Structure formats: structure tokens, C-alpha cells
Structure 1
Amino acid sequence: MKGVVLAAGKGERLRPLTDDRPKVVLKVANKPLINYVLENLDPFVDEFIIIVRYKREKIIETLGDEFNGKPITYVEQLPGNGTAKAIESAKEHVGNEEFIVVNGDIYFEEEAIKELISTFRREKSDAALVVKHFEDLSHFGKIKTEGTLVTKVLEKPGNIPGYANLGIYAFKSSVFDFIAQTELSKRGEYEITDTLNLLIEAGKKVVYAVYEGYWNDIGRPWNLLELNEYLLKNKLKHEIRGTVEEGAVIVPPVEIGEGTVVKSGSYIIGPVKIGKNSRIGPNCFIRPHTSIGDNCHVGNAVEVKNSIIMDHSNAPHLNYVGDSIIGENTNLGAGTITANLRHDRGNIKVEIKGRLEDSGRHKLGAIIGHNVKTGINVSIYPGRKIGSGSLIGPGVVVDRNVPPRTLVIIKQETLVKEL
């Protein structure tokens, strides 16, 4: 059985983290999102077919030609947008076999695939999908059911309870005939949910498998923080492979990679994950639910809490990083502070594709892209985004989003006077 992973999207809602890479390669708990997808598909498939388009070279660089000894085939998505068009791209590689399809930007666990395949084969169905019950379907399509059958896939029905489609499917190859009949949706995309309705209308058997485990659709920056917290709480093993100097305090569980040095005076409260060849301390405070990547530096008088710091990034002096995401190759100047709480303690709103969205969090710091540099004493408001490649000058208060590759400075005259 082949596993088809949809990974062609740009991830617009995750900018600036996706300014120069697809979202499926973003690291959470120091591992690319797509690796979690492949790990949980791995026991059930003999080959991976990955549908790519945007910055495809980044995905190929991340995964290579195989995963756990099983071959990976990369397929460019056909012209047009939407999940149905993405799945159609795999037609020649799937042939006449049954196959699994998974959105590459979601997190799920092995049990979801196990339930899917069991239901698909037991019911001798033409298609099956994984569903989960939510009390509020405002952000999901609703699955109408009758017994074991799916009778209709509906658009977002509003704030009502019900089964939601999780983006995990099993199909017979006959689905490609129905994809060919699928028309453009109102959103201008070819959507697999419309294909499922065509299958149902034609009398084909579409069934559902109920999944009760953890699932997350990584569509917005704060979803990365949610998943990071879940993984550190539930999957982390206490393991020290690096060096911890005398005078440093480690409160388990903490994972420290090879070549990393934790200097005296550092205080780390798990769950925390630190990658390889990083320098931690001296005299820093790393609080729970923080992941720090490879080749990073968290230095003197720095506090990091509930944050993601990606590879090759530094918070070296007098910094506070709270509920924030910092991309790769980014350096915070001395005294750079991320604010993470409004004075009125209200939920933090973040601009997503030109519109303010409620994150649902009353603590959310900065979302900083890749290859960013900040000067000394920079202050960043809650929920603000700094685009990749930007330079923020000394003393700047970042009270609005900064586009990619932007220089932000305070213009002021310097008075030089002889005393």
C-alpha cells in the first residue's frame, strides 16, 4: 500500500516562517513536521509519494530518497490548486492499488491510520476518512453519517458539535474517475471533499473511522506552539548526551543533544529539548515547553519560556523570549525583549493574510522569521511578526508587523559637544 502525502502548499498563514520554505519542513520539538507524518504512516505503507510544488527542493533536502528504508517518490502537483488536484497528481504512481492520503501539515498518531485501514477493509468500501468529534465545527467541515456510512460532507456549519474531517483518507484507485469529474469550488480549488460527495451521490460506499487521539492542523503560528507543548509533555525522554557543568541545575525531563554544553548557573526546568552543539548559559533560565535547536546559543541573563528557537539562532545576552517562535539563523541583540501579555490580559490577535485573527491565547509573543537580526534594546509587542531577512535597529519598538527583508531604524541626531 502506498502513502500519498500532500505537501505542495505555501503555508501563507504561517508567514514569516514560510517566507523561504514550505511549512512541512518547519521544526517542532527539533524535528520537521513531515517527519512526524511519515513516522506514523511508516508501519502501514511500502512506499511514500510526496506531492510537492512550493520550494520543493527544501523538502527533498530534508528527507532525501528514502525514509526508514522505504523509497520516497516526489511528484510535482498538476496545474491547479486544491486537495483533489494534488491527489490526482499521484495517479500514475498509485496505479490500480488501494492507497492512503494524508495532508502533510497535520499531526496525528499511528492509531488514526490503524483505525482507518481497519474500517476501510472491514467495510469493503470505496473510500474511508478519519473523523474526530469537536464541540465547535466553526473551523471544520461537518461529516454527516448514517450507521457506518458517510452521507454528506458539508462546508463549515458554524458553532455546533459533530464529526470533523481530519484530512486522512484511504481510497480505491477508482477515486481518480471521480476526481476527473470534480469542479472548481467557490474558493477556486479542486477539493477532495467535493469528490467524496460525488462518490456518495454515485452510490459508492464511503465510510468513516473515529479517532480520539491528539490531532493538530498546523495552519497558524500558535499551532506550532501547541504541538511543541504536546510533544514535550508526552513524548520527551530525559536524556543528557551533552555536557552539564557543575553548578547547572536540570529538572527532568530534559533532552540535551551531543556536543551541547550547559554552563554553570543555568537553570532548566523540563520538559525542555535542546539539540546538538548548542551553548547554554552561563546564568540563564529555560522554562518548560521550550525547544532549542542545533548550534544555538542561549547566554547570560536570558530567560526562555514556552518557545521554539530553531537551528543556528542566538539569544545571547539579557533577552526574554516568551511564548515565541524564532526562525533559523536569527540573532537577538542584547536586551531584545519579546512581550507576550497585553495590559488588559485579553487574547492576542495576530494578522493573518491581512486580517486580524484571535489566537485564543492570552499569552503569545513574537513570530520571528529566518535570518533576522535585532539590535540592542529592541522591544517587540505581543503577536507581532518580523519577516525573514529583516534588520531591526537599536532601540526600536516593534509595534506592527515587519515585512521580509526590511530595515527598521530610529532616526535621531547625535549631539557631540566638547565639555
Structure 2
Amino acid sequence: MALNIVIMAAGKGTRMKSATPKVLHKLAGRSLLAHVLKRCEPLSANARIVITGHGAEQVEAAVQAEGLSFVRQMPQLGTGHAIQQAVPALVGDGTTLILNGDVPLIETSTAKALIDACAGHALVLLTVDLADPTGYGRIIRNADDGGVLAIVEHKDATPEQRLIHEGYSGMMAAPTAALKRWVGQLSNNNAQGEYYLTDIVAMAVAEGLPVLGIKAHNETEVLGVNDPVQLAQLERAFQAQQAEGLMRAGVRLADPTRFDLRGTLTHGQDVEIDVNCVFEGQVTLGDGVRIGANCVIRNATIAAGARIHEFTHIDGEAAGASVGEGALIGPFARLRPGAQLGAEVHIGNFVEVKNSTLAKGAKANHLAYLGDATVGERVNYGAGSITANYDGANKHRTTIGDDVHVGSNCVLVAPVTLGNGATIGGGSTITKDVNPGDLAVARGKQVALTGWTRPAKKR
């Protein structure tokens, strides 16, 4: 049986007061529409159709993917009018699932329940029990069999009907052949001059087709976004869900209300995360990892027993970054793309590492830069030292062998190689290779002038 998934994403979102189309606003680092598409992936639809309108080109460019098609609703004349535009793209005579692009947290299991209940012959509405149903269409059920008789809009509801707390979410599954027929019969004879998809409920009832209501697991999964306030509220609700899931899996969060996950976090046992930490992209934390307060970690793998001290920023971007077992990073350290740190490496305060590998036990504890470098085991890299890796046009690599000691305030001008066991005197600018075991000093000779008088300020 063919399955169509239609996502309505044509609205302007006037109350967002933004040039960005509403469905492209971000929730936990991903657009609202991308959330919906992601949750539909396991459903194996024969056709996935996004209805665009306001900012159509921008929306389509942002989410385009293989197997995803777009239809445009111009102008936007209501939800029924939106589905009318999608009718030519629907395939088969099975089921069409209709979702909203600004309702990002619909559960895959809920969507599947709608599809299964429809089975190509019933109209199935997703409903929700609301503490405050103001503004929602009320679900009127048959007292005998519990079937849905009608949806009554809030403004049209009687005082008795307004006491009903079951509201319509705006999402449904319908028999595709019947849906095509129903939307073709819709009228815009109403105060707003729009075509309402909810009018098909009365058509289904009149035809004697089953009309069912399936309740969402919770209110959060059917909450939409109309303004920045609602977006922020949904963000916190979603983060609370993620935090609870991590804690139930054994992660210790110092304060789940001060935690943000904007991607995927994979973890081992006995992981501890302090307050105000942000995780983005793909992050993996091994057993016993401890993350200090106010860290931002993006696209990184951190091995067992590593400690990430406070205010550390790790951003692997596409290349990724990795921290070895038992390493100590920070506070106030920065790891950039291509930073690959071995076991027991120490990266201290105000040290930046980019596109560099550091072998087991290497240390750069203070105020240093390592870019495009290969660093051996047990290297001590002094405070204030840098690799000068860029000549104004090209990047060059620095190679530092095992057991090298680089003194403070040194400049290693790449390409350059320091052999195993070499020592670089503090304050040196090294432009040539240094042989294993050698001491290299490259700085001006110290001069002392006896009897010199410091200039005095003229009065």
C-alpha cells in the first residue's frame, strides 16, 4: 500500500517578525522543518512532498534531498488549498499522512500509529489532551463508539463544547483516493475566504467512512511555533526531554535545566557534565569523561577518562577533533578541526590546537599555538610558543619528535623538523631543522650597558 507524506510548510510566520521563513528557524540546532523530515525517515514513504510558499526558494534549498519533492502554494489560501496543490504529486491509492512543518517534535511512533489506523480506509486525526485548549478546534466524539463526529473551531464552540479539553493538532492520515475527492469539493465560503482541510471531516462522516481520533503521547509533540516566545518554550521543553533521557541512561548532569544538546551525544558509563555546556553535531564521550562548566563541544570524540576543564571550546567542524584517554584539556583551551590528541596529553589555558596530532603524554600547558604540526610523545611545548605555519599563501607543517623540549616564547617557522630529544632555547626563532639531541638557540646576544641612565620625563 502506497504511503504519501505531505508536510505543510508554506506559511509566512508573520508573528516571528523575521526575514527567515518560519519553518527554517532553529530548534536545538536544526530547522523546524528538518526535524519533521528527520522523524519521517523511518516511515519509508513512496512519496515525500513539502508544500512551500513564503520563501519557497530558500526553504527548498535548505532541505532538498533525494526522494523529496516540492509543490508551491501561491497564494496561501488555507490548509485545504495547500493540500489541493499537492494532489497531483500523490501516488497510489493507499494512505496520505499530513504533517505541519512548524510542529517539529512529532514522534515517529505517533506518525506510524496514524498510518496504521488509517490503513487506506479511515480518516484518522491526531488529537491531544490540553490543559488549556483555548484556540484549538475541539474534538466532538460519538458517545457510543468514540468515533469523531466533528471538529468545532474554538470561536464557533458553545460554552459546553469549550469545556472539552481534547483538541485537534492539525495533523492527520487519510485514504489517498478519498482525500483527493474531498479536497476537490472544499469551499471557501467563510469569513476568511480560505479552504479549510478540517471540512473533510464532515464529508467523511457523511460518506459513512470511519473517522478516528488518536491521541498524542504528550502535548509537547504537537506544539507548533508561531512566535519567538513559543520557539524558546519549545526549545526548553525539548532540551528537558533530552536531558532526562541522558540522565536515565546514566549521565550525571549537574543541572538539567542548564544543558543544551543540538545534535547527537553518544556516551559511556559514569559521564559527568557540569552546567551551561553545549553539545553540537556528533559528539562521543567515553567512560568516565568529565566536562567542566561552560564548555562548547562540537563534532568531537573524547576518550575514556579525559577531563575537559571549564570554558573549553572544541569545534571539530567537518574534519572532527579527538581527545585521547586520560587527557586533560583546559580551562580556556581551544581545539579546532583536525586536532587529534593522544592519551594523557595536556592542553592548558589559552592554548589553541588546529590540524595537529599530539602523541601520548605531550604537553602544551600555557598560552601557545600548535597549527599544522605533528608532535611526538612526551614533548614539552613552552608557554608563548607558536608554529608559524602560514607563509601568506600556503600552509606548511612542523614536525616535533619524541621527548623534545621547546622553551618559552619560541617561534617554529614551518616547514621545520625537530629531531627526537632536541631542546629549543627560550625565545628562539627556529627556521632550520634541528638534529636529534641537539640544543638550538636562535636569538640576539644579550648586552648590558653599565652606568646607563634611563631618560627622564621633561617638566
TM-score by shorter chain over 0.5: yes
1:80-229 map, 5 Å:
80-97=76-93, 98-106=95-103, 107-121=105-119, 125-146=121-142, 147-156=145-154, 157=157, 160-172=163-175, 173-184=177-188, 185-213=190-218, 214-215=220-221, 216-229=223-236
Q: How many residues get paired?
A: 265
Residue 138 of structure 1 contacts residue 160 of structure 1 at CA under 8 Å; is this kept in 2? no
Partner residue in 2 for 1:233: 240
Partner residue in 2 for 1:340: none
Partner residue in 1 for 2:378: none
Partner residue in 2 for 1:319: none
Aligned CA RMSD, in angstroms, stands at 3.7
1:281-296 map, 5 Å:
none
Partner residue in 2 for 1:390: none
Change (3 A) 1:26 1:274: farther
SS in 2 for 1:89: helix
Change (3 A) 1:202 1:62: same
Report deviation, 1:78.
5.2
Output the amino acid matched with 2:204.
L
Spell out, residue by residue over 1:53-79, the C-alpha distance to the aligned partner (whole angstroms, 9 max, x if none): 11112212211233xxxx100111154
Partner residue in 2 for 1:377: none
Partner residue in 1 for 2:421: none
| 2-structure distance, mates of 1:211, 1:77 | 28
Change (3 A) 1:256 1:41: closer
Partner residue in 1 for 2:47: 47
Residue 149 of structure 1 contacts residue 206 of structure 1 at CA under 8 Å; is this kept in 2? yes
Partner residue in 2 for 1:12: 14
Change (3 A) 1:12 1:120: same
Residue 52 of structure 2 contacts residue 60 of structure 2 at CA under 8 Å; is this kept in 1? no
Change (3 A) 1:134 1:79: same
SS in 2 for 1:204: coil
Change (3 A) 1:267 1:129: same
SS in 1 for 2:116: helix
Partner residue in 1 for 2:407: none
SS in 1 for 2:229: helix
SS in 1 for 2:294: strand
1:379-394 map, 5 Å:
none
Identity over aligned residues, as a percent? 22
Residue 183 of structure 1 contacts residue 190 of structure 1 at CA under 8 Å; is this kept in 2? yes
Which segments of 5 or more consecutive residues in structure 1 lack a partner in the other structure?
A: 242-248, 261-265, 286-293, 295-419
Residue 143 of structure 1 contacts residue 164 of structure 1 at CA under 8 Å; is this kept in 2? yes
Choose 1 or 2 for highest CA Rg.
2
1:249-260 map, 5 Å:
251=274, 254-257=277-280
SS in 1 for 2:39: helix
In the superposition, the TM-score normalised over structure 2's length comes to: 0.51
SS in 1 for 2:163: coil
Report deviation, 1:258.
7.4
Change (3 A) 1:34 1:275: farther
Report deviation, 1:257.
4.2
Change (3 A) 1:42 1:170: same
Output the amino acid matched with 2:89.
H
Residue 26 of structure 1 contacts residue 33 of structure 1 at CA under 8 Å; is this kept in 2? yes
Runs of 4+ with >3 A deviation: 236-241, 252-260, 273-277, 282-285
Residue 135 of structure 1 contacts residue 160 of structure 1 at CA under 8 Å; is this kept in 2? no
| 2-structure distance, mates of 1:139, 1:48 | 30
In the superposition, the TM-score normalised over structure 1's length comes to: 0.55
| 2-structure distance, mates of 1:110, 1:257 | 22
Residue 6 of structure 2 contacts residue 98 of structure 2 at CA under 8 Å; is this kept in 1? yes
Spell out, residue by residue over 1:316-375, the C-alpha distance to the aligned partner (whole angstroms, 9 max, x if none): xxxxxxxxxxxxxxxxxxxxxxxxxxxxxxxxxxxxxxxxxxxxxxxxxxxxxxxxxxxx
